[in-house]
Amino acid sequence: MVDTRDQGLAPDTPPLGTPSAEETFAPGDLRERIAAFDWAATPLGPRATWSLALVFAVDMIVASRFPSALRWGPEMVLIYNDAYAPMLGERHPYVLGKTFAEAPPTSAADSEGPERAILAGASGGTVIEDLFLTTIQPDGSVTDGYFNIRLSPMPDATAPSGVGGVLIALTDVTRRVQAEQALRASEERYQLALRAASGVGTWDWDILADKVYADARYARFHNVDPERAVGGLPLADFSKALHPDDFARLLKSGRTHLRTTNDFDEEYRLIQADGSIRWVQTRGKVERDARGWAVRHRGVMVDITDRKRIEHALEAAEADLRIAVDGAGLGRWDHNPQTGERYWDKRCREIYGLPEGMIENPLDAFERLVHPDDLPALMDAIRAAMDPAGDNTINREYRVRRDNDGALRWIETFGRAFFQDGLCVRFVGVVSDVTERKEAEADQVLREATMALALDAGNVGTWDYDVRKRQLRWSERGYGMFGMALGADVGLDDFYAAMHPDDREAVRAALLASMDPVRRADIDVEYRTVGRDDAKERWISAKGRGFFDDAGKPARVVGATVDITDRKRAELHLRLLVNELNHRVKNSLATIQAIAAQTFHAARSLPQAQEAFSARIVALAEAHDLLTRENWEGADLLDLLGRLEDLHGGAERFATEGGSVRLSPRMALSLSMALHELATNAVKYGALSLTTGQVRIAWTVVPGGAHPRLVLTWTETGGPPVSPPSRRGFGSRLIERGLAAELSGVAHIDFRPDGVVCRIEAALDG
């Protein structure tokens, strides 16, 4: 395309001295200017010398109302009319009479060639179409427009080529160009709209001629050659692609629209060339003639395959949701806070005990049926969910009093709020009756609390061994049974390390037997632990059982432990007591045998012997009774002397000096028998035979050897005079010899005239 400025038509900046705008745009200016112009100064020479062809050409363009100009002669001198002047802009009237060389256009190289070809007779003319030009009107206003420019030869017999000049004629085609541009823009917008709407194409059906004119996209969707579709094809050619299941429906709908309506809107399927199926939507309009007959049918087709796929997916999801909701016994609710619309489905009403079809505001029923203790927190949760700044969800459990039977039920609800422009426009969710679950949870809590009390009462610890991870978990008491800090990280190696070495292998064997897929033996063992942190030895009773996975491999071993240290100590103590009892019974029988042998001898009468034997047996029994009260772990010397005072005259007849001394069972028996013999002799012959007599018993504990020693002195005063016996009786021998042998000590009786004195010294071995 050639720019008009190449033809001397587009304005360039004029040189200094160019006439002003007032001079340029005076009406009828060019006729006078041409007549008054000094043409002698130009290559054309004075007007009187011009050829008839030139004069005719100048008169022709000056008389014309259309923009016209001449390029004349070899130098291409420019002459133009008033209508052409605005095309030159500020270059007018400077360029009048100028040669091409004196006032060349901006793109002279592009325009000079075509014009010289015409002057040389080599070209019959050139047309430049739809050239955009900016023009300055006579009133000074600036306008834009489009022009067709025709370059035509002007004959002149005097010219060597027979062509004297080039006629430049402009035709204003602005309206046509603008209309075409608007049409193209509209078409572009239409095509963009089609593409944005997944548009497939357009059609135009000439009903009377049965010709369907379609674009390429519409044709391809119907398996029709696009080039043939542009020229029009019968409707039957396009109908072949219709899905058989939609053909009858679409035919009936089309006939109805042609008879009764102007608008057409249908959705149907098309079978593509590759066998795939596409969903389309067609929207068209029926045009009718003056008689009301349908003559044309035009419209567009849109590909809605993706939309249909989504709709089907949503329908399937909705069906799955309904099945899931119904299967789970859920009720659905839907609330629009802005409009006040509310919906509760049948199951939702059943959960709240509302009759089907009940005409009642569900929100009012909701507030009425929710337990008063739960309603405030529930309403706060609802408001929080409908707050745009929150997480827009609700998940709460609360109680309701059912409307139909007044039963108290636990309800769980889950919902989500949806927003538009910061307002909650929809609040939807589901509810379910979870009363059985809540009751089961409460029962579980009660069972766990009961078990915890039982474990606490029984001082039972629990343990859980994960076989795969080799992780061992203990309860709080379990840590204590192994002398470890609560919460310490322990494993199977720590378990064995805290066990007494003598018991380790037996416990290991029991654990392996419980994890044996064949044996699956229960654990029932007793073992000792040595506290890792406190080094204390404890006896533990453990019971447990292994659990296996589907493949028969051990997964976990769980069980319970009880600290039986006290029981073990009691058993040991019982064995010791039995052994001690056996020993004491044997000793007692031997003692009784010795007492009997020494009492019933020929020198004493039978009544006297019986009395002495009975007294000595009573003394032995008293000592045994005292030891029995102390579980045969020993006796206190003060308790032994108290029993002696009770048997022989009361505390006023005895004076004691000394503190508490713990005696072993063996020493308590021997010392009790010795003191009984001294007291019996004092009652019969010594200080206790008279009311004025008294016995003083003093003792002390002195260190020495492996054990401290007890030193006890028996002193009688206020009794009858004493003389040494002619022979030693059983009592004296029991004291002096028996104590020495039994207690690894010494005893000596001194028969002083003013009273008997006995000194006893024995080791305290218990």
pLDDT digit string, tens, across residues 267-279: 999 999 999 999 9
Identify the residue with better confidence: 298 or 620.
298
Q: 719 phi and psi, to 5 degrees?
A: -100, -175
Whether residue 445 lies inside any domain: the answer is no
Residue that is written with structure tokens 């001194």 in the block? 750
Q: 651 phi and psi, to 5 degrees?
A: -70, -20
In this structure, what token pair is assigned to residue 224?
């029709």
Whole-angstrom Cα distance, residue 354 to residue 669? 90
Identify the residue with better confidence: 291 or 111.
291
The confidence score (pLDDT) of residue 200 equals 66
Do both 154 and 48 map to the same domain? yes
Residue that is written with structure tokens 């003559």 in the block? 295
The confidence score (pLDDT) of residue 78 equals 93
Highest averaged pLDDT of the listed ranges 50-59, 452-461, 705-714: 50-59
Identify the residue with better confidence: 667 or 379.
379
Identify the residue with better confidence: 487 or 295.
295
DSSP string, 690-725: STT-EEEEEEEEE--TTS-EEEEEEEEESS------
The confidence score (pLDDT) of residue 458 equals 60
Residues whose CB is less than 8 angstroms from the CB of residue 146 and which lie 6 or more positions away in sequence, other chains included = 130, 131, 132, 133, 172, 173, 174, 176, 177, 178
Whether residue 647 lies inside any domain: the answer is yes
Whole-angstrom Cα distance, residue 135 to residue 144? 6
Whole-angstrom Cα distance, residue 39 to residue 45? 5
Q: Which of 77-91, 208-222, 448-462, 679-693 has the lowest mean pLDDT?
A: 448-462
The confidence score (pLDDT) of residue 228 equals 92
End-to-end CA distance of the chain: 135
Whole-angstrom Cα distance, residue 96 to residue 98? 6
Of 756, 693, 683, nearest to 719 by C-alpha is 693
Does position 365 have pLDDT exceeding 60, yes or no? yes
579 pLDDT band, cuts 50/70/90, is low
Does position 243 have pLDDT exceeding 90, yes or no? yes
Whether residue 148 lies inside any domain: the answer is yes
Asked whether the bond before 93 is cis by omega within 30 degrees of 0, the reply is yes
Classify residue 175 by burial, with Cβ atoms within 10 Å: 0-12, 13-18, 19+.
exposed
Contact in structure between 354 and 364 (CB atoms under 8 Å): no
Residues whose CB is less than 8 angstroms from the CB of residue 491 and which lie 6 or more positions away in sequence, other chains included = 470, 471, 472
State the CATH number of the domain containing residue 514: 3.30.450.20
Tell me how far CA of residue 433 lies from CA of 28, 361, 401, in angstroms: 100, 21, 12
Residues whose CB is less than 8 angstroms from the CB of residue 119 and which lie 6 or more positions away in sequence, other chains included = 71, 74, 76, 153, 161, 163, 165, 166
Span 110-116, average pLDDT:
79
Residue 68: strand, helix, or coil: strand
In this structure, what token pair is assigned to residue 410?
């636990």
Whether residue 66 lies inside any domain: the answer is yes
Do both 428 and 494 map to the same domain? no
Buried b (16+ CB within 10 A) or exposed e, 653-664: bbebebeebebb
Highest averaged pLDDT of the listed ranges 51-65, 331-345, 722-736: 51-65
22 pLDDT band, cuts 50/70/90, is very low
Contact in structure between 343 and 366 (CB atoms under 8 Å): no
Cβ count within 10 A of residue 96: 21
Q: What is the residue type of 200?
A: V
Rg (CA), the chain: 67
Domain count, the chain: 5
Does position 704 have pLDDT exceeding 80, yes or no? no
Do both 165 and 241 map to the same domain? no
Residue 584: strand, helix, or coil: helix
Span 407-422, average pLDDT:
90
* Entry pTM: 0.35
357 pLDDT band, cuts 50/70/90, is low
Do both 480 and 545 map to the same domain? yes
Whole-angstrom Cα distance, residue 261 to residue 285? 9
Whether residue 596 lies inside any domain: the answer is no
Whole-angstrom Cα distance, residue 674 to residue 586? 19
Span 45-66, average pLDDT:
91
Contact in structure between 719 and 689 (CB atoms under 8 Å): yes
The confidence score (pLDDT) of residue 295 equals 87
The confidence score (pLDDT) of residue 18 equals 35
Whole-angstrom Cα distance, residue 57 to residue 262? 60
Whole-angstrom Cα distance, residue 214 to residue 203? 4
Do both 261 and 154 map to the same domain? no
Identify the residue with better confidence: 745 or 717.
717
Span 70-89, average pLDDT:
90
Q: For residue 407, how far is the Cα from the chain centroid?
A: 35
What are residue 79's DSSP bridge partners?
A: 70
- E strand spans, 247-293: 263-271, 277-288
Whole-angstrom Cα distance, residue 58 to residue 78? 11
Q: What is the residue type of 515?
A: M
State the CATH number of the domain containing residue 715: 3.30.565.10
Does position 242 have pLDDT exceeding 90, yes or no? yes
In this structure, what token pair is assigned to residue 314?
């949503």
Whether residue 317 lies inside any domain: the answer is no
Span 335-349, average pLDDT:
83
Contact in structure between 209 and 223 (CB atoms under 8 Å): no
The confidence score (pLDDT) of residue 21 equals 36
Q: 33 phi and psi, to 5 degrees?
A: -60, -45
In this structure, what token pair is assigned to residue 650?
């009361």
Do both 377 and 418 map to the same domain? yes
619 pLDDT band, cuts 50/70/90, is low
Do both 346 and 263 map to the same domain? no
Domain boundary among 308, 343, 359: 308
The confidence score (pLDDT) of residue 1 equals 30
Whole-angstrom Cα distance, residue 110 to residue 327? 85
Does position 688 have pLDDT exceeding 60, yes or no? yes
Whole-angstrom Cα distance, residue 143 to residue 134? 6
Do both 214 and 159 map to the same domain? no
Whole-angstrom Cα distance, residue 37 to residue 46? 9
Contact in structure between 648 and 679 (CB atoms under 8 Å): yes
Do both 462 and 426 map to the same domain? no
Cβ count within 10 A of residue 112: 18
What are residue 361's DSSP bridge partners?
A: none
Residue 164: strand, helix, or coil: strand
Domain that includes residue 632, residue range:
623-763
Do both 162 and 216 map to the same domain? no
25 pLDDT band, cuts 50/70/90, is very low
Span 296-309, average pLDDT:
86
Per-residue model confidence as pLDDT tens digits over 182-237: 767 666 555 555 555 555 688 889 988 899 998 888 899 899 999 998 889 999 99
Query: Mean pLDDT score of the chain, rounded to an integer?
Result: 80
Does position 588 have pLDDT exceeding 50, yes or no? yes
Of 729, 646, 737, 622, nearest to 685 by C-alpha is 729
Per-residue model confidence as pLDDT tens digits over 1-12: 333 333 333 333
569 pLDDT band, cuts 50/70/90, is confident
Per-residue model confidence as pLDDT tens digits over 312-329: 877 776 666 666 566 667
Identify the residue with better confidence: 132 or 8.
132
Do both 116 and 149 map to the same domain? yes
Whether residue 341 lies inside any domain: the answer is yes
Span 345-373, average pLDDT:
78
Do both 116 and 225 map to the same domain? no
Span 16-34, average pLDDT:
56
Whether residue 102 lies inside any domain: the answer is yes
Q: How many residues does the chain have?
A: 766
